Amino acid sequence: MAKKNPANLAHTEAIKTRAGMAEALELERLELTKEMEKVMKQYAKATGNSKLGKRQHKVGKAPNDFKA
Amino acid sequence: MSKVQQKTRVELLVESIAVEKQILIEMCDELAACRDSGDKKGAKSVKKDLAAQIKKYNSLVGDYNKLSGEKAPTVSYDLPDEIMAGSNNYGIAAVGTPVASTANAYNANISILDEKELKNYLERSDKALDNVRTRLETTTKQKDEATGYNKVLLIINCLTYQRYVIERLAENLHVCNKLEDAKRVKAIKKNLTNEIAAYNAIVDEYETLTRSRLTRASESIPEDILAGKAYTPIPAISYTANDGTARNSDADVAAVAAAAAASVATAKATKKHAKKSKEVVKKSALEEKVAEQANKDLSVVTKGYDFKISLLESQKDMSYYRFGKNQFDMKSLKKSANKRIKDAQKAHKEALKYEEKDNSRYYAVITNDPVTMKAKKRADRVKIASLRTEMMTLLNKRDEINSKLLSIYNGSEVTLDGVSINQKWRQVKSDAAEKYVNKNQKVAKKIFRLPASSGEKQRLYGILNSNVEASSTLALTQYRLKTKEYKNSGEKKALKRDEKNLKKLIQQNTKDINWVIKKIKTRV
């Protein structure tokens, strides 16, 4: 791609590889958070401690659901 | 009632009386122990129970006398007072000839009973078992609270009750096996195994406390019974007066028990300490791991925001090197860049707070051991344990992702915009951009003086600005190639290709700018 469109700096090989990797990993991390929240809901039900199952923000909406 | 039935009933009564007699003797022992140790409260309670037991015993003896026509002696209701007055002779006579005194073996009469009678027998046996179990439970509680001398006595009582439970269950197992009641056989077998283990645990406790050996209950009893083998009775152990033999003086027993209790207390304390230390080590290892993982989570958030903030700062750096912008534009650019940086810093703090909140919930699942935590049902505990394992797996996966992310964020990486986030790289880029801007000031002035519309001029400035970006990226690429800041040969090749392309891009842009300037000038 870099050869075809050298004017697009965002598509230089090194940049594309690194940033893409971080982004993919952050998304994977977000997916794991979703799964963990599901487990937390079940855990809260099993223990009777409803506080444990509640998250202030939906997954993806909280400030710590970082996206690169 | 037929003669056979009457005979069976009498035999069963003899068995029951023997059992109740044993219980009666044990209660007398307990009362004597309370008397000897000066436990007035305990004595009062035992006296009350003993009176009820005498009544029960006498009622059975009355039934026996009616059926058999004999005149077996009942127990005096004054017996509790006599014991309290110092008597150790309980004077409880044997009634009939029990096949197995104190139910030490399963009843030989069982072989002559028919199915209906066997079921009745079982029913009666179960009821008797319940009574003994209640008594065993109470005595166990008392034993656990007692110390020294009293504890030894109560252990003996517990052993007696426990032995009785085993023998009753052994008998029931034999009956059920005879009735071919597979379901009940299975249940009793399991129950019997547990009771044998409980008996042996009390034996261990007794041995530790008194330093004398006792015969343990054989663990193969259930299998032996089912295989049709003879039941081996567990030897009885008694406190004092019931067998009429001489006993040690109270002072001797008390001294041995006190010494033993002291050694047990020390041993327990050491064991408790060792257990506690082990738990602390185990817990601290777990806590350490949790803390490490949680720190990594926070690091990822911090580094992620650092990444973002560095990008914004780099963009701010680059905003100084722009053609075609007046002072007002530059101020506004700087202001907006600062605001974005400030927002990101604020979001970073918030993110850390929320990450900590999340972690406190996630890691609580791991640090709370389902074995020790309160749960309504066993099923809940199993579910909690399985969820804990699931959470551990997920957190470990996240930990792996965190490590990868940190290696990217900590490394010298470049964002989508091609802006370096590494301080050195940022510097290289800024220097290159500044150099290009200074070198091309004449070109910028040429564009400014052109007799063209502001739109045309902005497009030209845009091409110049693209060259600023390209030249700074080129400088960075060359810097990375020079300092070998790449991970593999593939990346090196990509950087070389980028270098070539960027040079071409700058050349092409410069040609384009010069061509447009020439065209505009000739147009005029």
Most confident of B261-270, B280-289, B430-439: B430-439
pLDDT at B273 over 60: no
User: Per-domain residue ranges for chain B?
Assistant: 3-247, 277-410, 422-524
Q: Who contacts A26 (Cβ-Cβ below 8 Å, separation ≥6)? A: A66, A67, A68, B304, B405
Interchain CB distance below 8 Å, A63 and B351: yes
B75 phi and psi angles, rounded to 5 deg: -95, 140
Distance between CA atoms of A34 and B238, rounded to whole angstroms?
65
pLDDT reading at B201 higher than 70: yes
Q: Looking at the complex, does the CB of residue A1 fall below 8 Å from at least one CB of chain B?
A: no
Global ipTM? 0.82
Q: Which two tokens stand for residue B327?
A: 């002072």
Question: Which tokens go with B481?
Answer: 């190639």
Structure-model confidence comparison of residues B328 and B520, the more confident one: B520
Task: Mutate one of B298, B376, B416, B483 to test the A interface: name it (highest A CB count within 10 A).
Answer: B416
Distance CA B459, CA B171 (A): 103
Q: Per the structure block, which two tokens stand in for B10?
A: 């009498």
- Number of inter-chain CB pairs under 8 A, A vs B: 141
Residues of chain A contacting B401 with CB distance shorter than 8 Å: 25, 28-29, 32
Residue B421 CA to residue B416 CA, distance in Å, equals 11
Q: Which two tokens stand for residue B60?
A: 């059975």
For B292-351, how does the pLDDT look when each residue is reduced to its tens digit (9 = 90+)?
A: 777 778 888 887 787 777 777 767 777 777 777 777 777 888 888 889 889 888 888 888
Q: Is the CB of A13 inside 8 Å of chain B's CB atoms? A: yes
Q: How many helices (H) and strands (E) does chain B have?
A: 14, 0
Separation in Å, CA of B395 to nearest CA in chain A: 8
Chain B interface mutation, best of A12, A32, A33, A65, highest count of B Cβ atoms under 10 Å: A12
Average pLDDT score over residue span B29-58: 82
Average pLDDT over residues B136-160: 77
Q: CB distance B380–A47 less than 8 Å? A: yes
Q: Give B62's pLDDT tier (boundaries 50, 70, 90).
A: confident
Bin B419: left if φ > 0, else alpha if -120 < ψ < 50, else beta: beta
Our CA-based measurement puts residue A23 at a distance from the nearest CA of chain B, in whole angstroms, of 9
pLDDT tens, position by position, A45-68: 888 888 888 888 888 888 888 664
Long-range contacts of the stretch B343-346 (C-beta < 8 A, 24+): B344/B305, B344/B308, B344/B309, B344/B312, B345/B305, B345/B309
Nearest-CA distance from B358 to chain A in Å?
8
- Say if residue B242's pLDDT is above 50: no
Buried/exposed B213-232: b ≥16 CB within 10 Å, e otherwise? ebeebeeebbeebeeeeebe
Cα end-to-end distance, chain A, whole Å: 22
Q: Is A40 on the interface with B (CB under 8 A)?
A: yes
B138-154 mean pLDDT: 75
Res A3: pLDDT: 40
Picking from B353, B358, B493, B513 by the largest number of A CB atoms within 10 A of its own CB, the best residue to mutate is B358
- A17 close contact with B: CB closer than 8 A: yes
Residue contact B418–A55, C-beta within 8 A: no
What is the mean predicted confidence (pLDDT) over B172-179? Answer: 81
